[in-house]
Amino acid sequence: MKITDIQVFEVEAPLITPFKTALRTVDKINNVGVYIYTDNGLVGIGEAAPTAVITGETKDSIIHAITHYIKPAILGMEIEDIAQIMERIDKCLYKNTSAKAAVDIAIYDLFAKRYNAPLYKILGGYRKELITDITISVNDTNEMVNDSLAAVNRGFHILKVKVGKDPEGDIQRVVEIRKAVGPNVTLRVDANQGWSAKQAVRIIRALEDAGTNIELVEQPVYYADLEGLQYVTMHTQTNILADESVFSPKDALKLIQMRACDLINIKLMKTGGIYQAQKISHIAEANGIECMIGCMLETKISVSAAAHFAASQKNITMVDLDGPSLCLNDPVTGGPTFDNQWIKMSDEPGIGFSI
């Protein structure tokens, strides 16, 4: 089954409320979709999210990378030769991981369709259901408490609380959220690089002393400050999850060897897709490090691919695939169902969309 054409298209989805982290504020998803066409009529679909502050990519850079580098590198190749396709995608240009992810996802969609099986089964088929958290954007304490209560009322039992924009107020934010939601809601805290290593240790210890029972703290320090991340991991009891510090399998191996984190967040937009994501999951599993599957501001298209990947991996024990729950509507129909915290895999071939 040969690749005959690759086309990009615009993916737009309004958000229910603005998404705010220590790194950025976004009102609307404006992503790049990819269709890959084949000589037997099957079409694969993928999506890239331009997250300039994390991957360095913009919408224009993604379109350029796909059209002028990735497409010429793989046009005419056989979908069955997936490892060779992935090698060409990896080598045709440096970084540009979201552009690569969009194409990788569409290739995997086709690969699973070629064998008439749902993608998660082709990848390993470990489970059929996932439970995702939902993000609470960073705002003033009252607004975050109200948003947390609203999320719990919507049916979410795991909240990912964004902090790191105003370190001095972050202890109060988390303490008040814990008081409001009670002890049975799981709280994850994501600083998106907003603290220094010493600030992080002080804040996390204060949260421990206040009995907030935080499941994990995600990316407390600047992505390149690996020694800082190691310092925080060694000087706190709470599990530290590396996010922006880990893009590649090599990054994961380095942090594991340094003992700089307890957990790793895998996102297809950072790894360049499922092929490299599998390697990180396996390296981490072999070293006793559990992984989260995460997403950027992505719609149901690429988040569904991430769900298939997560469902296939025993070592993915935490799920942050709330993209579709943050959107007012989905750009595609079919595929896994996203019903508040529940993500349920469908048994349609590939990712499962009606294209």
Ligand X SMILES: C[C@H](N)C(=O)N[C@@H](CCC(=O)O)C(=O)O
User: Which residues are marked as active site?
Assistant: 162, 267
Q: Any binding-site annotation on 135?
A: yes
Please say which residue, 78 or 215, places its beta carbon nearer to ligand X. 215
Neighbouring C-alpha atoms within 13 Å toward the C-beta of 233:
20
Q: Which residue among 3, 21, 79, 315 contacts ligand X (CB under 6 A)?
A: 21
Annotated ligand binding at 295? The verdict is yes
Identify residues 207-246 at the interface with Mg ion (CB under 5 A): 218, 243
Q: Going residue by residue from 317 to 336, which x/- string records binding to Mg ion, judged by CB under 5 A?
A: --------------------
Please, which residue, 79 or 242, has the CB nearer to ligand X?
A: 242
Residues 195, 92: Cα–Cα separation, whole Å? 36
Q: Site map for ligand X, 315-334, x if CB under 6 A? A: -----x-xx-----------
Laid out side by side, the sheet with 291-294 consists of 134-136, 158-162, 186-190, 214-218, 239-242, 263-267, 291-294, 316-319
- Is 160 annotated to bind a ligand? Reply is yes
Question: Which partner in ligand X, Mg ion, none is near 341 (CB below 5 to 8 A by kind)?
Answer: none
Q: Which residue has the tokens 């969309």?
A: 353
Cβ–Cβ < 8 Å for 293, 306: yes
Q: And the tokens for 117?
A: 């099986």
For ligand X, the binding residues in 33-52 under the rule CB under 6 A are: 51
Q: How many residues bind ligand X (CB under 6 A)?
A: 16
The answer to whether the annotation marks 285 as part of a ligand binding site is no
Nearest approach in angstroms of CB 19 to ligand X is: 7
Q: State the binding partner of 297 from ligand X, Mg ion, none, CB within 5 to 8 A by kind.
A: ligand X
CB 147 within 8 A of CB 177: no
- Between 218 and 330, whose beta carbon lies closer to Mg ion? 218
DSSP assignments along 255-288, one per residue: HHHHT--SEEEEEHHHHTSHHHHHHHHHHHHHTT
Q: Which of 47, 190, 290, 348 binds Mg ion (CB under 5 A)?
A: 190
Whether residue 30 contacts residue 171, with contact meaning beta carbons closer than 8 Å, is answered with no
If the CB atoms of residues 23 and 73 are measured against ligand X, the closer one turns out to be 23
Long-range contacts of 335-339 (CB under 8 A, 24+ apart): 335/300, 335/304, 336/304, 336/307, 336/308, 338/132, 338/300, 338/303
Rg (CA), the chain: 20
The response to whether 208 counts as a known ligand-binding position is: no
Q: In 3-state terms, what secondary structure has residue 328? A: coil
Q: Which is nearer to ligand X, 220 or 228 (CB)?
A: 220
To the nearest whole angstrom, how small is the minimum distance from the Cβ of residue 160 to ligand X?
Answer: 6
Q: Return the DSSP state at 24.
A: -
Nearer to ligand X, 151 or 207 (CB): 151
Q: Is 72 helix (H, G, I), strand (E, B) or coil?
A: helix
Please tell me whether residue 148 binds ligand X under the rule CB under 6 A. Answer: no
Confirm whether residue 176 is marked as ligand binding.
no
Q: How far is the CB of 192 from Mg ion (least distance, A)?
A: 6
Q: Is 295 in the site for ligand X (CB under 6 A)?
A: yes
Residues of this chain that interact with Mg ion (CB under 5 A) are: 190, 218, 243
Residues of this chain that interact with ligand X (CB under 6 A) are: 21, 23-24, 51, 135, 160, 190, 192, 243, 294-297, 320, 322-323
